[in-house]
Amino acid sequence: LAENNEIISNIRDSVINLSESVKDGQKNPEAINFSQGSISELFPSASVLPAVDSEDCLFASKSRNHGSGVQMLDVYDILPFDNPDGGVWKQGFDITYNENEWNSEPLQVFVVPHSHNDPGWLKTFEDYFRDQTQHILNNMVIKLQEDNRRKFIWSEISYFSKWWDGIDSQKKDAVKRLIKDGQFEIVTGGWVMPDEASPHYFSLIDQMIEGHQWLEKNLGVKPKSGWAVDPFGHSPTMAYLLKRAGFSNMLIQRVHYSVKKHFATQKTLEFFWRQNWDLGSSTDILCHMMPFYSYDVPHTCGPDPKICCQFDFKRLPGGRVSCPWRVPPEAIHAGNVQHRAWMILDQYRKKSKLFRTKVLLAPLGDDFRYAESSEWDQQYQNYQKLFDYMNSQPEWHVKAQFGTLSDYFEALRKESNVGEKSSNSFFPVLSGDFFTYADRDHHYWSGYFTSRPFYKRLDRVLESYLRAAEILYSMALVQSSKSEKMSVFPSVDNYKLLTEARRNLGLFQHHDAITGTSKDWVVVDYGTRLFHSIMNLKRVIIDSAHILILKDKGAYNYDMSTPFLKMDHVQSSQDSLPRKTVIKLTSQPRYLLIYNPMEQERLSVVSVNVNSPRVKVLSPLGKPVAVQISAVWDGATTVSHEAYEISFVAHLPPLGIGVYQLLEVQSSEAVLADYNIYLRNSKQEKPDRLFKIKEMQNSVDNIILENSYMKLWFSGMSGLLEKINTKEDGKNHQMKVEFAWYGTTSNRDKSGAYLFLPDGDAKPYIFTDPPTIRVAHGRIFSEVVCFFHHVTHTMRLYKVQGQSLEVSNIVDIRGEYNRELAMRISSDINSQNRFYTDLNGYQIQPRLTMSKLPLQANIYPMTTMAYIQDVGIRLTLHSAQSLGVASLKNGQLEVILDRRLMQDDNRGLGQGVQDNKITANIFRFLLERRHGTEKAPVSFPSLLSHMTSSFLNHPVIPMSTYADAGVPEMLNTFSPLVSSMPCDMHIVNLRTIQSKVNIEPSDEATLILHRKGFDCRFSNRDIGLLCSSTQGKIKVHKLFNKFRVESLTPASLSLMHSPLDTRNISEISMSSMEINTFRIRLR
């Protein structure tokens, strides 16, 4: 109660402060409508505070005080993580049973044939399809029709759709019949079976929609059971997304062997998985965890792989695969059927002893199985003989058959009397996640959280372009449908590019793609797809922005050879970093369109390169804007005179475009940045003719940067951050940044693409010569850049949105041998072996660093953020790419930036990771004052933290007009929303729905909204957010001002289901943490 009272009083105080400041804000219209003139007007000290509704603060405090069922954190706490020999089931125990246990209720066995098809791993997607997948599906149509008792399941729509496009209508009709008759089931039905550690929830949802929409259009089916046998660890985010998409059941396989054993002893392998933050049970989904080592046949019929392998009839003598336990299968015939049926029934019975019902699931398949017609015959004919014999022995009390996954779950629910309602306490409720995975010994799969980080970054770049393009395109499409003349807008071509980008991004979420666990040439194939889609999306963005910004839409003309706009970044190949283009200035204005893909009004520092320092920038209202000119560097100490970087603060409407003008003038009011260069043993070249560059020979004094929020001290020797002073309370905080190397163990098993097996603690990164350090001081931002041999490290402090510090590393470890580079932050925060990482950018999962586990087990995936905290302060590391993160000592956070490994780690890849690239990592450090402690199984970021993450992941997109083209008249801003969305509301996507026939757009779009859960126990002074919160309510007609909402109807997450009474809604009302999907028609 005391804690509750404290929370309520905190809320009350912050609301009182807020309401006062909002009143002030209303008296002072200038506070929001910046007349972009002098620097003092640019950064008004009394920035407008968000009006946070006190009700909105209750969610986080309520979530902290509830507990439900099994918490995974508690499980990790009590498990000894020993690894005794369990006998035939190496990582388990001896299972015994009593002959007559099934007398009253027979054992029901469902054997579920499946084929695991990786959309790229040891071969590319196309090669696998050509060599294996197409044959599997072709044979499926023939072989299932031979006997209606046969069943088969399939999950990857990327492959299925490619196959479907190439088959005749006769085959298509046969497939539809097989589905209708329940012989063939689509499980999950996403574009791929995604990894669950690295992907952002945007992409997880998008690949699910892409698959489900394809299924609806081509087959008219709606999957209801999830199947994830191969992702390397499992996230509750996936459980949430499946539940909200309308699924009833899900299955998972790769879970730490000690957890599997513990769940098997407790008979909790089947449970209702509930979200940590759920105060009720609306997120519960029935989940089946497979008990053994693998999803292959030797590890799925029962605990003894030596016996189960004898029932994988693809391994019959004479074939290409055999049993490693040296006892081959025997074909079933009258002479051996009794003995063989009894052998496998014994396995089925033992396996069923690990579960609470007499219904048993026995998957039957492996990677790319059932490619040859003979294999279908071997498996299906031999198993049918076993079933027929078993079922004919009444005293065996068994009913065995082929089944689909949903056949199994339906029988399970019937048997346990769990209808769709989970109130039944027959199965336990569980919350938490299943990272970090180990499949044996100390082999933790924490390496892949970082492997191939170049592409983990490229993934997020594509993601932010895709979202930006989807939203702009959806609006441009509505705009173009308004007038007859507008048929020239390339809506169909652009829709094809969008569809291809969705599919390429979807493909990359596959658990061998974003994970960095494919062969080198397969990585290149994925990279090329990502790269092409980024280029194509830039076209969609340019075409859409073009039509939206024209004053007279009739003036729109589309010319592919000379686009109206060009982007400010070019990337020359799939494995190179983007470079800025140089805008050529003249005395005639060049227009710079800046698109803000966020749903909140935004102040953003925009930096572009121009060819002259004599520059003037005008705001959309035609007023001069304060500008900083920085040097563009050819090396650590060489200034280029081909280009100059100009930076200014743009004030942009939500989801809108601001049009700025750049001109060359005789006398510019722009202010040059000053530079100090710390050189150790080389001389600076001749003085620069424009910039003031001071050479600091042998100086070891601290370097200091500051803005109105904080003052930073950096070492004069290394240039690395040492401490931060927060101005709000005048306190100093130790905040040491350092780099460190991990090696790999000298044992036989070494680190590889999947596994992290270090040779002990990290060793400090030692430089023989102190680095060159370049310090810039400017009116818009200041920065320190340190040039180390393997990393160029930049810390930049902005004067706007300056509560966080931007940190970027350009990493190059291409010359290293079995080493991994980490960045570590050591603070004086008393974090006590607890830290917090996000799961998929969707929710926060508390972590415990456990000394009983090896170092590699204490590394967890981070998609967008990780933090440590104590009673008074929280330090958040925001990330623009997924990487592995840890907190190995009190007050520390560390992130693994790249890894180069010379050998395979025996998980099937057959190679190390040696294709390293020069890789950019981008972060923000955010230090916040907080009130109160927590040991609850749930935690939330602050609103400021959510905003920081959004700004980092959805940067503004600048586009410039071509110099020589006569520019038609443009609006000075395009502002599609009436006002900012509430602070805690995020538009995940506004995605045009495909028409029923071809790949072209319909007049309907999917609007996906996410209401973020946030923690109010943070100091709210000066956070400068231009939005408020409204208890999750939005009036639909008050959303858009350029368009009219013709209809808005709720749907399930991936559009598979609509409520029975689908009717238009006029107000959206959402609970915290929920992601809701609507079908929307704009006019």
Could you tell me the CA-to-CA distances from 448 to 229, 248, 456, 814, 996 in Å, in that order? 17, 30, 11, 18, 40
799, 831 Cβ separation under 8 angstroms: no
- What mean pLDDT is predicted for residues 197-222? 98
Q: Which of 149-163, 417-431, 557-571, 683-697 has the lowest mean pLDDT?
A: 417-431
Give the β-pairing of 590-595 and 957-961: antiparallel
According to DSSP, residue 129 is labeled I
Which tokens sit at 989?
């996507």
- What is the distance between the alpha carbons of residues 978 and 980, in angstroms, rounded to a whole number? 7
Enumerate the active-site residues. Answer: 230
980, 198 Cβ separation under 8 angstroms: no
920, 577 Cβ separation under 8 angstroms: yes
Residue-wise pLDDT for 868-891, tens only, equals 999 999 999 999 999 999 999 999
663, 590 Cβ separation under 8 angstroms: yes
For residue 592, what are the β-bridge partners? 660, 960
Give percent of the chain above pLDDT 90: 84
Q: Where are the alpha helices (DSSP H) in 181-235?
A: 201-218
* pLDDT higher than 80, residue 506: yes
Residue-wise pLDDT for 104-141, tens only, equals 999 999 999 999 999 999 999 999 999 999 999 999 99
Radius of gyration, alpha carbons of the chain = 30
- Position 950 scores a pLDDT of 97
For residue 434, what are the β-bridge partners? 234
- What is the distance between the alpha carbons of residues 447 and 511, in angstroms, rounded to a whole number? 14
- What is the distance between the alpha carbons of residues 839 and 235, in angstroms, rounded to a whole number? 7
Residue-wise pLDDT for 145-194, tens only, equals 999 999 999 999 999 999 999 999 999 999 999 999 999 999 999 999 99
End-to-end CA distance of the chain: 52
The length of the chain, given as a count of residues: 1083
- What is the distance between the alpha carbons of residues 948 and 929, in angstroms, rounded to a whole number? 16
- Position 1025 scores a pLDDT of 72
To the nearest whole number, what is the mean pLDDT of the chain?
A: 93
799, 708 Cβ separation under 8 angstroms: yes
Residue-wise pLDDT for 828-870, tens only, equals 999 999 999 999 999 999 999 999 999 999 999 999 999 999 9
Residue-wise pLDDT for 370-379, tens only, equals 999 999 999 9
- What is the distance between the alpha carbons of residues 886 and 906, in angstroms, rounded to a whole number? 25
- What mean pLDDT is predicted for residues 490-499? 97
Q: Report residue 424's pLDDT band, with 50, 70 and 90 as the boundaries.
A: low
Q: Report residue 68's pLDDT band, with 50, 70 and 90 as the boundaries.
A: low
- What mean pLDDT is predicted for residues 717-737? 97
* Coil, strand or helix at 512: coil
- Position 311 scores a pLDDT of 99
Could you tell me the CA-to-CA distances from 246 to 182, 222, 250, 996 in Å, in that order? 19, 9, 11, 22
* pLDDT higher than 60, residue 739: yes
* pLDDT higher than 80, residue 545: yes
- Position 41 scores a pLDDT of 35
* Coil, strand or helix at 887: coil
- What is the distance between the alpha carbons of residues 461 and 501, in angstroms, rounded to a whole number? 12
DSSP symbols for 987-1048: EEEEEEEEPSSSSSEEEEEEEEEEE------B--TT---S----TTEEEGGGTBSSS-EEEE
Residue-wise pLDDT for 573-622, tens only, equals 999 999 999 999 999 999 999 999 999 999 999 999 999 999 999 999 99
More confident residue, 755 or 67: 755
- What is the distance between the alpha carbons of residues 160 and 172, in angstroms, rounded to a whole number? 12
- What mean pLDDT is predicted for residues 980-996? 96
- What mean pLDDT is predicted for residues 467-486? 90
Residue-wise pLDDT for 935-962, tens only, equals 777 999 999 999 999 999 999 999 999 8
* pLDDT higher than 70, residue 38: no
Compute the half-sphere exposure of residue 282: CA atoms within 13 Å on the CB side of its CA. Answer: 11
Which tokens sit at 110?
């469902």
- Position 62 scores a pLDDT of 82
- Position 166 scores a pLDDT of 98
- Position 963 scores a pLDDT of 64
- Position 661 scores a pLDDT of 97
Residue-wise pLDDT for 428-466, tens only, equals 999 999 999 999 999 999 999 999 999 999 999 999 999
For residue 939, what are the β-bridge partners? none
Q: Report residue 561's pLDDT band, with 50, 70 and 90 as the boundaries.
A: confident
Residues near 632 by Cβ (< 8 Å), separated by ≥ 6? 609, 639, 640, 642, 643, 644, 645
Assigned CATH topology for domain 70-431: 7-stranded beta/alpha barrel (3.20.110)
Compute the half-sphere exposure of residue 319: CA atoms within 13 Å on the CB side of its CA. Answer: 17
Q: Report residue 14's pLDDT band, with 50, 70 and 90 as the boundaries.
A: very low
- Position 417 scores a pLDDT of 86
* Coil, strand or helix at 860: strand
Q: Is the dihedral of CA 72, 74, 79, 80 positive or negative?
A: positive
- Position 482 scores a pLDDT of 85
Which tokens sit at 267?
């008979």
- What is the distance between the alpha carbons of residues 437 and 263, in angstroms, rounded to a whole number? 15
- What mean pLDDT is predicted for residues 719-730? 96
**Containing H/E element for 618?**
strand 615-618
Burial of 704 (0-12, 13-18, 19+ CB in 10 A): middle
Residue-wise pLDDT for 779-832, tens only, equals 999 999 999 999 999 999 999 878 999 999 999 999 999 999 999 999 999 999
* pLDDT higher than 80, residue 402: yes
| Closest by Cα among 695, 686, 581 to 959 | 581
- Position 45 scores a pLDDT of 34
Angle formed at CA 899 by CA 894 and CA 904, multiple of 5 degrees: 135
- What mean pLDDT is predicted for residues 687-692? 91
Look-up: residue for tokens 């008990």? 291
582, 632 Cβ separation under 8 angstroms: no
237, 1048 Cβ separation under 8 angstroms: no
- What is the distance between the alpha carbons of residues 364 and 151, in angstroms, rounded to a whole number? 11
* Coil, strand or helix at 598: coil
* pLDDT higher than 90, residue 500: yes
- What mean pLDDT is predicted for residues 728-741? 97
Domain segments of the chain: what residues? 2-36+47-65+981-1082, 70-431
